Amino acid sequence: MKTIDDFDFSGKKALIRVDFNVPLNSKFEVTDTNRIEAAKPTVLKVLEDGGSAVLMSHLGRPDGKVVPEMSLKHIMDAVSDIIGVQVKFAEDCSGPKAKKAVDQLEDGEVLLLENLRFHAEEEQGDSEFAKSLSQLGDIYVNDAFGTAHRAHASTTIVANYFPGQKCFGYLMAKEIEAIDKVMRTGEKPVTAILGGAKVSSKITIIENILGKVDHLIIGGGMTYTFVKAQGGRVGSSICEDDKMPLALEILDTAKKKGVKVHLPVDVLAADDFNNEAKTRVVAVDAIPEGWQGLDAGPKTLENFEKVIQASRTILWNGPVGVFEMDNFSKGTIAVGHMIEDVTKEGAFSLVGGGDSVAAVKQFGFEDKVSYVSTGGGAMLESLEGRVLPGIAAIMKD
216 is in an annotated binding site: no
Name the percent of the chain in helix, strand, coil, to the closest 5: 45, 15, 40
CA 318 to chain centre: 12
355 is in an annotated binding site: yes
133 is in an annotated binding site: no
60 is in an annotated binding site: yes
DSSP 87: -
How far is it, in rounded angstroms, from Cα 102 to Cα 53?
9
308-341: buried (b, 16+ CB within 10 Å) or exposed (e) per residue?
Answer: beebbbbbbbbbbbbbebebbbbbbbbbbebbbe
Residues β-bridged to residue 20 = none
* Active-site residue list: 35, 198, 354, 377
365 is in an annotated binding site: no
352 is in an annotated binding site: no
315 is in an annotated binding site: no
215 is in an annotated binding site: no
280 is in an annotated binding site: no
A 10 A CB-CB count for 370 gives 16
61 is in an annotated binding site: yes
274 is in an annotated binding site: no
375 is in an annotated binding site: no
305 is in an annotated binding site: no
236: closest CA among 294, 295, 297, 301? 294
CA atoms within 13 A on the CB side of 107: 9
- DSSP letters for 276-336: TS-EEEEETTEEPTT-EEEEE-HHHHHHHHHHHHT-SEEEEES-SS-TTSGGG-HHHHHHH
- Which residues contribute to the annotated binding site for (2R)-3-phosphoglycerate? 35, 117, 150
Known binding-site residues for ATP equal: 202, 293, 324, 353-356
Query: Which residues belong to the annotated binding site?
Result: 19-21, 35, 58-61, 117, 150, 202, 293, 324, 353-356
